[in-house]
Amino acid sequence: MSEDTIARSGVKRRHLMGGAALGVVVGAVGGLAGGVALGQEAALPQQKPSGKRRFENKVVLVTGGTSGIGRAAALMFAAEGGQVAFCGRNVERGKQVEDQIKESGGDATFIRADVRNEIEVKALVDRTMESYGHLDVAFNNAGISIEKPLHEYSAAEFDDVINTDLRGVFLSMKYEIPHMLEKGGSILVTSSSNAIATTEKRSAYSAAKRGLVGLVQAAALDYAPHGIRVNALIPGTTDTPFIRRLSGMADLPDAAWHVALTQWAKVHVPGLQRVATPEEIAAFAVTLASDDHPYTTGGQFVIDGGKTAHAG
């Protein structure tokens, strides 16, 4: 899920970290030696670009591309030779990502767009075509969450999650697909491990993310005769600004945040007992979107460190 579209958790936030994890944070920030040691333990693996050029002469559109998984994916698509058009609502962050790609020798165009707005989504795709002339890959990644018990949602809040996470993908595909009908293409949609096994206070988010799986499956059958592959990415908890805000810890020092997240993951992520980095999820997304696996369509590809393997 992209941090690009601001997560709003309402009056009552679901705190990601439990009391034990917060206790570790207090200890870590309370003593320099302890903070350094725990900070080193909390370090996540660094996923580097593949070095391949799988998207040479290909045009890639990324929604929610200004931070988190979307940002990491935009950078990786560009590093592999893709001409990347990407959107978000935050112009400053969008320009920063565009500049970073260009400074690295890549080709990118930031286009401000809100996926809830049909006119803006159409304009996003139109501008991509005007800039690059064709469309080969779409990574529809933008999303938000509002977390509270079901009866506490207002209808507007519930609609906001559905309109961003589910309807926004529908709108994106509606305007992307006509440009792929003649020569084929690859569409990847960011769902969530909550589409498989969820938790309390996520009824709107889980409904949207499970809905995406059905949308992907049906669309894959619609467009297989046209050579368009449509797949769903199912990431687990990822260390992005999105979840940091959603946990209520946006103002926590970086070192303390990473320590808290590490301790939380040891309890809540069976298997690898850590969260993912945006780059790890993005690297998997780039591979799925590439031509390396031409027999994949209508699939749900889980990358969650073993989180949902334990849920059943």
- pLDDT tens per residue, range 1-40: 443 333 443 433 333 434 333 334 434 444 433 444 444 4
| Position 35 in a domain | no
- Given this model, what pLDDT does residue 22 score? 37
CB 185 within 8 A of CB 136: yes
153 is annotated as an active-site residue:
no
Selecting among 132, 175, 205, 223, the annotated active-site residue is: 205
DSSP, collapsed to helix, strand or coil, labels residue 56 as: coil
CA angle 140, 146, 147 (to 5 degrees): 125
- Given this model, what pLDDT does residue 311 score? 57
DSSP, collapsed to helix, strand or coil, labels residue 139 as: strand
- Given this model, what pLDDT does residue 39 score? 46
| Position 181 in a domain | yes
Q: If you average pLDDT over every residue of the chain, what do you get? A: 87
DSSP, collapsed to helix, strand or coil, labels residue 60 as: strand
- Given this model, what pLDDT does residue 3 score? 39
CATH number at residue 198: 3.40.50.720
302 bridge partner residues:
234
| Position 246 in a domain | no
Decide which of 213 and 249 is more confident: 213
- Report the percent of the chain where pLDDT is more than 70: 86
pLDDT (average), residues 200-223: 97
| Position 32 in a domain | no
- Given this model, what pLDDT does residue 43 score? 66
Is pLDDT above 60 for 229? yes
- Given this model, what pLDDT does residue 255 score? 84
Place of tokens 């926004």: 168
Decide which of 28 and 158 is more confident: 158
pLDDT (average), residues 149-154: 98
| Position 308 in a domain | no
Domain count, the chain: 1
What's the pLDDT tens digit per position in 88-131? 999 999 999 999 999 999 999 999 999 999 999 999 999 999 99
Alpha helices in the chain (DSSP H): 19-30, 32-41, 68-79, 91-103, 118-132, 155-162, 168-176, 203-223, 241-246, 254-268, 278-289
Decide which of 47 and 92 is more confident: 92
Question: In whole angstroms, how far apart are CA 283 and each of 69, 76, 94, 107, 122?
Answer: 9, 7, 20, 18, 27
- Report the percent of the chain where pLDDT is more than 90: 70
Domain residues for the domain of 89 are: 55-239+277-303
| Position 30 in a domain | no
| Position 27 in a domain | no
Neighbours of 279 (CB within 10 A): 22
| Position 188 in a domain | yes
